[in-house]
Structure 1
Amino acid sequence: MSNGALARNRSSVQEASSNSVNFIDVFAGCGGLSLGLSQAGWEGVFAVEQDSFAFMTLKHNLIEGKSGAYKQWPEWLPKTEHSIKDILETYREQLESLSGKIDMIVGGPPCQGFSSAGRRDPNDPRNDLVNLYLQFVNIVEPKVVLIENVKGITHDFEDDKGANSKVNYACKIIDCLSENYTVSSRVIDTSEFGVPQRRHRFFVIAVRNDLFPSKKIHPFEQIEKNRLSFIRNKGFASLPVSSGSAISDLEVRRNGKVASRDSVGFEEISYNHPLTTYQKIMHGDVGRTNLTDTRLARHKQKIVERFQSIIKTCHTDGRLNVSLSNELKSRLGLKKSAIRVLDPERPSPTITSMPDDLIHYSEPRTLTVRENARLQSFPDWFEFQGKYTTGGERRKREVPRFTQVANAVPPLVAEAIGDTLRKILSENG
């Protein structure tokens, strides 16, 4: 994007400015980032997400649902799943017409090639989506760019150009944006924003250079400055929020079970009421009979007994929230390396797309989608769509409910960041 292009668009930016601020969410997933921004007063224009299950969830809750996050959806774009490549190739003229009219582009390219939860692969084709994202930004020319990704994106990778050739995708993004934006980056621990999960994520905030030419903007310093007041305004009594404080009201022993409403042959938790401050904030006015996504896994008796042994041993040995020891795995005949038992007194470790990576702290079972959603700070009214899980080759092309939750930006963090960025634009515009 040239300085001349910025100058030509300056009048359009001023005309588009008002008390409201808008955004486009690219690689939107199920809508965690969109949800948080809408709760912070932002209005969505449209979202780009290529997985049908994830887009079903976003559409159900944020386009057609009660949040009203997307009030400006353009007539030229069908409300269905799209890849960013499809958007760039099919709707380029429409994107160009938005230049100077969008306050913020948000989202993070899929992180599988960078994530420490799997095998880092710099040549994963999904990593090419970084380039498409930057193309999208160059066409739309938003005032602000907000990117979220795993910490692994900051690592140096050997690329396919030779043994001595390395690529750092975080540096690549920052370098490309720096031509026309003032770029800041930081690794954020989500538990510092009230999320009951120790989840460290890499954030980039880029503010266009022509917006505040006489004033230096430090967005992450402002986010930190506003953090405690944000937490108080949300109603939290103290931090961090433990996993027990987040999901204790969903224990089977407190509620009992009923036949699943949407899955034949499964049972779900028969919900009573929230117990803690966090649970009350997340539950809101949903009501006891309207809570969804509490379907329980059908564990065989052998697995239940194994889980009981693991839970007891981890409590005794003080190994909660950490991977099982090699000795214990050998004794139980386990090959899986990532399995952990939750510590009810501390935030959970980072949740993943694999339902059996975490075991409940007191009940011999894996967590439900709703429990994972609580650990990600999704409110209880947010209902997930599509399959619960998938496997085999389909894991490469499907995003079921557990994966949707795990891949999302925690809405509380998105809301806190969005609240500060909205204030920066309104106070300095």
Structure 2
Amino acid sequence: MRVSNVKKVRADAHQPTYSFVDIFAGCGGLSLGLMQAGWKGLFAVEHDANAFQTLHDNLIAPEARFQFAWPDWLSKTANDVAELLKSQRQRLAAYAGKVDMLVGGPPCQGFSSAGKRNPNDPRNRLVEQYLEFVHLLEPRVVLIENVRGITTDFDDSSSDGGKLNYAQWIIKALGRNYDVSTKMLDTSSFGVPQKRHRFFIVGFRKGSGIEPLQLFNAVERDRQTFLRHKNISSVPVSSKAAISDLEVSRNGKIPSRDSPGFQDIAYQGPLTAYQTLMNDGWVGIPPDTRLARHRPEIAARFGKIIDLCHADGRLNVSLSSEIKASFGLKKSAIRVLDPNLPSPTVTSMPDDLIHYSEPRALCVRENARLQSFPDWFAFKGKYTTGGERRKTEVPRFTQVANAVPPLVAEAIGLTIAKLLREGGKPAYLTMEKPHRVSPEIQEAQP
């Protein structure tokens, strides 16, 4: 249950409230972090129904702790970015110069080194739709988050030199009207209990008075103050410090609250400072603690793998060829968590990570803890899916894996707001229109 006396969180009345729009919003990790930093969300765009339902229930619904200032003209449903650019172009153009920041993380599967990197993957073209939004909204700041793979070259026979680098293309496209800086950030340095490297591109509109490299220098300078404010005494935060209060051996089980035939982890309360931060006033059992139904032989196998990995010192890394051969395993991504270190990057596959001491995969809530989502943030839709449906459905495990960790978004949001207050020019700046993306967005070539 939610704490009955929790009030909606508002920005400090003595500080200016800055606004943002989030496209390719996913379940809302980036939006949540910005709202926690005092930013005002105007609206968000996400095409997947499951992910949007999560975003809606946590950040749009009347009872939500944080709320977007949603416009009447935009339906509170899943929307496709390309379709919105066509059907609501005039409405979007009306925001020109009135939005402080446009944020987004275009889906990264086509860039990820974990999959087949394909320059022709249509998901790569979604960055062009982001730039089309930049053209229409003319925000003071643009912020893009993506995987490390966006910074490396694709083999592409249609490009000069036979190579295509999407990060460099984005930077060049923004550079006409924005001072752009980039940084690869390790999320564990912000208190996220996960060794996750993500690439950030930030542009401040020319004439803002903010130097290109100023942001990330300021983010690093403000980081220790941010951690102290969050009562995170040291980084990195370990996996055990993040999820030990959810161990079944401590809490026991109850019948699942939303999946008949399954069991949920019961809950007795936080044990560490990080767990208290994530618990964030929640009373009772957090959502999304449903356990996987492992067959007895699978649980026994997990138990042996855990013991072998602890004995061999192979925690947080893929199983050795000897261990895989001994169990007849072909999958190489299975890793046992190291309780004393941050987790590896959380993925959309629920059996990629095995608990450090219990013979099971992690539940959605444990993955959410590793991503720094508070316990009141409930995920919606299917828990997982498989096969070809992975290309079209975004279930709960995938929503968590695809999200920007809210702690990182909050830290960056606080620093950007500070820079805007100290060095930005609040008045609308006349500027040359950015380079326009072809109207045929899906077919446009960088």
Which range, TM-score by smaller chain?
A: over 0.9
- Paired residue for 1:6? none
Once the two structures are superposed, residues 323-353 of structure 1 have per-residue CA deviations (whole angstroms, 9 ceiling, x without a partner) of 0011111111001010000000000000100
Q: Distance in 2 between matches of 1:396 and 1:208?
A: 35
Contact 1:51 1:399 (C-alpha < 8 Å) held by counterparts: yes
Shift of 1:100: 0.3
Asked whether the 8 Å contact 1:34–1:69 carries over to 2, the reply is no
Pairing partner for 1:236 from 232, 236, 246: 232
Q: Give the structure 1 partner of residue 420 of structure 2.
A: 425
What amino acid maps onto 2:271 in structure 1?
L
Is the Cα contact below 8 Å between 1:35 and 1:69 reproduced in 2?
Answer: no
1:118 to 111, 115, 122: 115
CA–CA distance in structure 1, aligned partners of residues 51 and 302 of structure 2: 30
The superposition leaves residues 152-181 of structure 1 with CA deviations (integer Å, 9 ceiling, x where unpaired) of 000100125279521100000000000000
Q: 1:302 aligns with which of 294, 297, 300?
A: 297
2:389 maps to 1:394: yes
Structure-2 residue corresponding to 1:77: 74
CA distance in 1, matches of 2:87, 2:65: 29
Q: Deviations over 1:84-118 (max 9, x none)?
A: 10110111101111000000000111000011121
2:277 is paired with a residue whose SS is helix
Q: Displacement, 1:128?
A: 0.7
Structure 2: any 5+ residue segments left out of the alignment? Answer: 1-14, 425-446
Structure 1 segment 277-426 matched on structure 2, within 5 A:
277-289=273-285, 291-426=286-421
C-alpha distance in structure 2 between counterparts of 1:217 and 1:251, whole Å: 43
Quote the offset at 1:428 in angstroms.
Answer: 1.7
Most deviating of 128-137 and 354-363: 128-137
CA distance in 2, matches of 1:97, 1:162: 35
**2:56 is equivalent to residue 59 of structure 1:** yes
Letter in 2 for 1:47: A
User: What is the alpha-carbon distance in structure 2 between the residues aligned to residue 407 and residue 74 of structure 1?
Assistant: 26
1:176 aligns to what? 173
Asked whether the equivalents of residues 249 and 279 of structure 1 are also in contact (C-alpha less than 8 Å), the reply is yes
Q: Is this contact kept in 2: 1:105–1:142, CA < 8 A?
A: yes
Counting only pairs closer than 5 Å after superposition, residues 105-254 of structure 1 correspond to structure 2 as 105-161=102-158, 164-212=161-209, 218-254=214-250
Specify the SS of the correspondent of 1:355: coil
Alpha-carbon deviation of 1:68?
Answer: 2.4
Work out the percentage of aligned pairs sharing the same amino acid.
62
Contact 2:148 2:184 survives alignment (8 Å): yes
Residues of 2 paired with 1:69 and 1:102: CA distance?
A: 17
For 2:43, what is the secondary structure of its paired residue?
Answer: strand
Matched, 1:90 2:60: no
Q: Matched residue of 1:356: which SS?
A: coil
TM-score normalised by structure 2 residue count = 0.90
Deviation at 1:145, TM superposition (A): 0.4
Residue-by-residue CA offset, 1:242-268 (whole Å, 9 max, x unaligned): 000000000000000010010010001
Give the distance between the partners of 1:348 and 1:69, measured in 2 at CA. 31
State how far apart, in whole Å, the 1-side matches of 2:231 and 2:113 are: 34
How many residue pairs align between the two structures? 409
Q: d(CA) in 1 for partners of 2:159 and 2:99?
A: 40
- What's 2:266 paired with? 270
Q: Which residue of 2 aligns with 1:40?
A: 37
1:351 is paired with a residue of what secondary structure? coil
Alignment of 1:257 with 2:242, yes or no, is no
Q: What is the one-letter code of the residue matched to 1:20?
A: T
* Partners of 2:384 and 2:64 in 1: CA distance: 26
Superposed CA RMSD in Å reads: 1.3
Q: 1:153·1:170 contact (CA, 8 Å) conserved in 2?
A: yes
State the Cα distance separating 1:288 from its structure 2 match. Answer: 2.2
CA–CA distance in 2 between the matches of 1:100 and 1:210? 14
Question: TM (normalized to structure 1)?
Answer: 0.93
Richer in helix (by share): 1
Q: Distance in 2 between matches of 1:211 and 1:428?
A: 7
The 1-side partners of 2:113 and 2:163 are apart by 18
Deviations 1:111-162 (A, max 9, x none): 0001112111111110011111111111110000011000000010012527
Distance between the aligned counterparts of 2:188 and 2:65, measured in 1? Answer: 24
Contact residue 114 and residue 120 of structure 1 kept, 8 A: yes
Separation in 2 of the partners of 1:271 and 1:118? 36
